[in-house]
């Protein structure tokens, strides 16, 4: 399975709560990091538990998927309990398994003061 197929299978298994299939995509030493909170989860078992216990009736819709060799990146629309969040996940893979995930959750904020007026809001 190439990186694209691996990431597609990852989100498919997550959405299906098929944790056996999900676990088969992970390297035993997988590392998951959230740079914004400086949280880290190490190893397949703990990362499975982290996902299995994620609260709410959530669903991840992949809106962007890029691959570059052994790396891949997805942008998801993460829908949970009527809310929508954006998740950006950088995947590193080896031998057809996910070895590292770096996960960002950019949230809305008010625009800063800009030095030009050539900006519109949408």
Applying CB under 8 A, the residues found at the interface with a second copy are: 33-42, 46, 49-50, 53-55, 64, 66-68, 71, 73, 75, 86, 88, 90, 104-111, 114-116, 118-122
Calpha distance 102→91 (Å, rounded): 7
**Considering beta carbons, is residue 9 or 85 the nearer one to a second copy?**
85
HSE on the CB side for 105, CA within 13 Å?
Answer: 11
Smallest separation (angstroms) from a second copy to the CB of 6: 14
Smallest separation (angstroms) from a second copy to the CB of 20: 18
**Considering beta carbons, is residue 18 or 45 the nearer one to a second copy?**
45
Place of tokens 């998801």: 76
Smallest separation (angstroms) from a second copy to the CB of 15: 18
Q: Is 9 helix (H, G, I), strand (E, B) or coil?
A: helix
Q: Is 84 helix (H, G, I), strand (E, B) or coil?
A: strand
**Considering beta carbons, is residue 13 or 89 the nearer one to a second copy?**
89
**Considering beta carbons, is residue 95 or 112 the nearer one to a second copy?**
112
Place of tokens 């914004």: 36
Calpha distance 76→80 (Å, rounded): 12
């Amino acid at each position: 399975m190439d990186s694209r197929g691996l990431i597609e299978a990852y989100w498919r298994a997550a959405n299906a709560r098929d944790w056996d299939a999900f676990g088969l995509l992970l390297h035993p030493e997988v590392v998951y990091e959230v740079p914004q909170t400086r949280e880290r989860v190490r190893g397949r078992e703990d990362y499975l538990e982290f996902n299995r216990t994620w609260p709410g009736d959530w669903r991840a819709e992949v809106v962007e998927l890029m691959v570059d060799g052994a790396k891949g990146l997805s942008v998801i629309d993460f829908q949970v309990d009527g809310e929508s969040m954006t998740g950006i996940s950088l995947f590193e893979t080896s031998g057809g398994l996910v070895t590292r995930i770096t996960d960002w959750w950019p949230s809305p904020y008010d625009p800063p003061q800009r030095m030009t007026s050539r900006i519109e809001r949408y």
